[in-house]
Structure 1
Amino acid sequence: MRDFAELLDRLVFTPRRSIKLRLIGDYFARVPDPDRGWALAALTGGLTFPGAKPAMIRALIEERCDPVLFRWSYDYVGDLAETAALLWPERRGANREPGLAEVVETLQEAGRTEVPTLLAGWLDALDPTGRWALLKLITGGLRVGVSERLAKTALASFGGQDAGAIEELWHGLRPPYDDLFAWLEGRAPQPEVAEAALFRPLMLAHPLEEAEVDALPLGEFLAEWKWDGIRAQLVAHKGECRLFSRTGEDIGPAFPDLLQNIGFDAVLDGELLVAREGAPAPFNELQTRLGRKAPTAKLQRSHPAHLRLYDLLIDAGEDLRHLTFSERRARLEAWYARHRPALMDLSELVVVENHAELKRLRREARTSGVEGLMLKRAASPYLAGRPKGHWYKFKRDALTVDAVLMYAQRGHGRRSSLFSDYTFGAWTEEGTLVPIGKAYSGFTDSELKRLDKWVRDHTVDRFGPVRAVEPGLVLEVAFDAVQPSSRHKSGIALRFPRIARIRWDKPAGEADPLERLRAMIA
């Protein structure tokens, strides 16, 4: 556990990507199996412990110290693991310090009632850094600036392999990855996962700005609409059919209507939508189905799933990813003509004669109900990751609104002592503010410090870790779309809100009214 705690502690204070990669690689090199495999699972979000809940941790710490002191400290620090780790009373020598594998494997077998006793014993045996790492591990919120992609890149570098090869295997392997490390160290052959219905790493696009369009050799590209759903991959193999998100999460249980009566073997790349008679519905209708483990028959009828197909990666066991996009597109069209699968159709190709027409289509994208256009080089093979010069996304301009800051909450990780999560609102006709969204990105570190000070100086009420502030600061918020929502008091929901600018100069009374946002729905 000590090595894992040291790794997390160094990662959280290391901003540079290259140093993070070296730290993770060094850890893999010096720590034996299965500890390093469980650490890899933790860094990539592959561990869950249903019996270990934040409420249980709060109850434990309140048994060991003054509950009022804990609540005040938690309110100031803003991070449960850090607060509990520092306040936990020292009882060094009370127990043997646990290893990482011991913690993980014991928790996986333990019943819910056993977890508090186990956790208390481990906390007694660890120093503050070890306690912090343990609590981060079991709550699943490491927040040390390491993405799943970064951890896999470090793993590939450690083993002298291409990151794409790791991605190809990843979803066929299970923690603690003994066979993966054996292969990377040359002690065993590459793990065999080819016979499973597995996720294949997606090819992604680079954003394209309007100023860059004229330099693009348009004749070398094919264009498609960028649909307003989520990227998905459907894998059908020997009677097994699964649906994956762009990150490889199995979302099939939420869309059983799409996966029934599949009579082919293929890997298909496309956009997951809710559609009626082939017409895509707004994104918020798709959201009502995402995350549902067992959608009702009524929901499936009212919000029918639909997969709009972009690409054909594998057809009846034949890997097509080495072919050009033009060749794969021809194969996809022929495949679709043969199978005509229910609840699927082809994403149409868009004829674009010149750069001016491309810009016009992008400007008109919002009225057409699409996010913009995709530009794919006709000669491109299907390459994992985001290779340069192959695919581009030419998205419509963001919408903006001037909103009033209403609430602020502390962040996590290195932001745990700063108010960095902001809820903002718009004025109703009656002159009251109603929340319309929340954002925690779009500002620099220096702007964050100034925002944090403003929140502290203008707090009018507290609700646990949340502070209500005077309606005196205007934020220019950018977002992709606004949609009606029955779940929010304002009656609307913003898609992908982020802070575009802090309007220190603008009076709160001049911020935008709610009616302006409602008008944007149409």
Structure 2
Amino acid sequence: MGWRTLRDLLGRCAPEPTLTVAEVDALLGEVAATSGSGSASRRSELLSGLLSRATQGEQDFLLRLLTGELRQGALEGVMIEAIASATDVPGDLVRRAVMISGDLATTAAAAAGGGQGALRAFHLELGRPVRPMLASPADSLDQAVDGIAHPIVEYKMDGARIQVHRDGDDVHVYTRTLRDITRHAAELADLVRGLPCTSVVLDGETLALTDDGRPRPFQETMARFGSTRQEQVEALLLRPYFFDCLHLDGVDLLDAPLHRRREALHRVAGEHVIPGEAAPADAATLLESSLDAGHEGLMVKDPDTPYAAGRRGRAWLKVKPSHTLDLVVLAAEWGHGRRTGYLSNLHLGARDPDGGEPIMVGKTFKGLTDELLAWQTRHFPELERRSDDWTVHMRPELVVEIELDGVQTSTRYPGGVALRFARVLRYREDKDAADADTVDDVRALRRD
């Protein structure tokens, strides 16, 4: 049920509230279970009946709930802290259980019923992907390595994040968002099936390479995950670069320090380990090597830290020669001159860490190719919230990667900052708005 379909179902509203939570839950369960011939009509009938019994405020709530735009502040991070507080267990233990189970409700029930013991019983299961650990941006290479006695420094590649599970001959490949893409990445599954082990869980990146071994554009790598055309599959073979090992031959390594996980990684993955060094004598030379090979920069990691989902302080830091941010597209303005007839100038928002609407931090039309302008003009109206003669305001769903020279204080935008020389690099089809950088990340780049 898309947003436009739901909006079209809105009609007269009830003058007084009569709906109960149990009724709404039961009806939405019936909608979800409706399938087969005539199911679309039946779903519309059920939802139309529900909305007709709702007050205007209830209609607004239900519409935003069903389209994923409720945005009342109950983000996952907030809910994790709430579970910890309500059940009197450490927040790190709750985060670990959510990382492994992938489900807040399951974790909450375990914490409420069995406390710390129940949460510690959560363990990695082969075939059930683990939420990925992420890196925080560093201002410079010197700042990244400062304070880490023996840092692990690796290439930062512009590929697609993968997590591979093997149990005997059964292999599954998952994306950053935990989607199973095994059927689109048969060569990766075959490669892992041939590694010297019986069971393993590997974390890494995959890239499509040119004939001379340089990385192809990110969009070409991502195209593999949606392609069923044999000629495209053959033309864009994927090469894996693994940087972590979470399980090896019956031994879970999530809670082990990175240096132990890295030992297991080198034993099992061999030549498929991402280029890098432990405590390099000259990290700047390694950075130059990465950039010369066509990659983004470096990753700097603390060897004594366990694997933990999300961004965990200074455990993993990414170093790039220029700043990039993943921001949410809030609106687009109709272009002028040679861009007349195209949606062009983008309104950019950063994620509100407290769960509210994205906060606007700037605009840009730089970096938009003719192909991107045409794509925006076709696609953006599908996400329209409202529009006027100049601007199409959109649901905050699209994430775009923006390169910038810096950030400065500004009263022009609600975020209190403005992007300097911002330009579009690409749309991040592998991310949604919940993965965008926060307004705090943007403000941290401020130098004035």
* Same structural fold, with TM-score higher than 0.5 when normalized by the shorter chain: yes
Partner of 1:405: none
State whether structure 2 residue 153 is matched by structure 1 residue 223: yes
Q: CA deviation at 1:250?
A: 3.4
Partner of 2:9: 60
Q: CA deviation at 1:327?
A: 2.9
> Structure 1 regions of 5+ residues with no counterpart?
1-51, 65-87, 401-409, 412-419, 452-462, 471-493, 505-511, 518-522
Partner of 1:321: 254
Could you say what secondary structure the match of 1:280 adopts? coil
Q: CA deviation at 1:288?
A: 1.7
Q: Residue type matched to 2:202 in 1?
A: L
Give yes or no for contact 2:163–2:201 (8 Å, CA) kept in 1: yes
Q: Residue type matched to 1:285 in 2?
A: E
RMSD: 4.5
Q: CA deviation at 1:225?
A: 0.8
Q: CA deviation at 1:392?
A: 1.6
Q: Residue type matched to 1:288 in 2?
A: A
Of 133, 139, 151, 1:203 maps to 133
Give yes or no for contact 1:265–1:316 (8 Å, CA) kept in 2: yes
Partner of 2:65: 137
Partner of 2:113: 186
Partner of 1:35: none
Q: Residue type matched to 1:208 in 2?
A: A
Judging changes above 3 Å, is the alpha-carbon distance between structure 1 residues 443 and 130 closer, same or farther for their aligned structure 2 residues? closer
State whether structure 2 residue 52 is matched by structure 1 residue 124: yes
Partner of 1:114: 42
Q: CA deviation at 1:153?
A: 3.8
Could you say what secondary structure the match of 1:141 adopts? coil
Could you say what secondary structure the match of 1:392 adopts? strand
1: distance between equivalents of 2:28 and 2:97? 23
2: distance between equivalents of 1:353 and 1:102? 59
Provide the TM-score with structure 1 as the length reference: 0.58
State whether structure 2 residue 200 is matched by structure 1 residue 266: yes
Judging changes above 3 Å, is the alpha-carbon distance between structure 1 residues 399 and 193 closer, same or farther for their aligned structure 2 residues? closer
2: distance between equivalents of 1:245 and 1:216? 32
> Structure 2 regions of 5+ residues with no counterpart?
364-380, 392-399, 413-420, 426-448
1: distance between equivalents of 2:126 and 2:22? 36
Write out aligned runs for 1:303-314 (5 A): 303-314=236-247
State whether structure 2 residue 179 is matched by structure 1 residue 246: no
Give yes or no for contact 2:153–2:277 (8 Å, CA) kept in 1: yes
Q: CA deviation at 1:224?
A: 0.6
Partner of 2:230: 297
1: distance between equivalents of 2:154 and 2:54? 56
Of 69, 75, 90, 2:14 maps to 90
Write out aligned runs for 1:3-402 (5 A): 52-61=1-10, 64=11, 88-90=12-14, 92=16, 99-110=23-34, 111-163=39-91, 165-166=93-94, 169-170=97-98, 177=105, 180-186=107-113, 195-210=125-140, 213=143, 216-217=146-147, 219-260=149-190, 262-263=193-194, 264-276=198-210, 279-290=214-225, 292=226, 295-337=228-270, 345-350=272-277, 358-359=283-284, 362=287, 366-398=291-323
Give yes or no for contact 1:171–1:248 (8 Å, CA) kept in 2: no
Judging changes above 3 Å, is the alpha-carbon distance between structure 1 residues 144 and 55 closer, same or farther for their aligned structure 2 residues? same
2: distance between equivalents of 1:170 and 1:399? 29
Give yes or no for contact 1:225–1:349 (8 Å, CA) kept in 2: yes
2: distance between equivalents of 1:206 and 1:360? 22
Q: CA deviation at 1:500?
A: 5.6
1: distance between equivalents of 2:361 and 2:256? 50
Q: CA deviation at 1:351?
A: 7.5
Judging changes above 3 Å, is the alpha-carbon distance between structure 1 residues 231 and 145 closer, same or farther for their aligned structure 2 residues? farther
Q: CA deviation at 1:159?
A: 3.1
2: distance between equivalents of 1:442 and 1:258? 35
Q: Residue type matched to 2:189 in 1?
A: L
Judging changes above 3 Å, is the alpha-carbon distance between structure 1 residues 174 and 209 closer, same or farther for their aligned structure 2 residues? closer
Q: CA deviation at 1:138?
A: 2.4
Q: CA deviation at 1:314?
A: 0.5
Give yes or no for contact 1:427–1:434 (8 Å, CA) kept in 2: no
2: distance between equivalents of 1:435 and 1:384? 37
Of 298, 323, 331, 1:421 maps to 331
Could you say what secondary structure the match of 1:115 adopts? helix
Give runs of ≥4 in structure 1 deviating > 4 Å: 91-98, 162-177, 187-196, 350-354, 359-367, 423-428, 431-437, 442-445, 447-451, 497-504
| Percent identity of paired positions between Structure 1 and Structure 2 | 20
Provide the TM-score with structure 2 as the length reference: 0.66
1: distance between equivalents of 2:350 and 2:288? 24
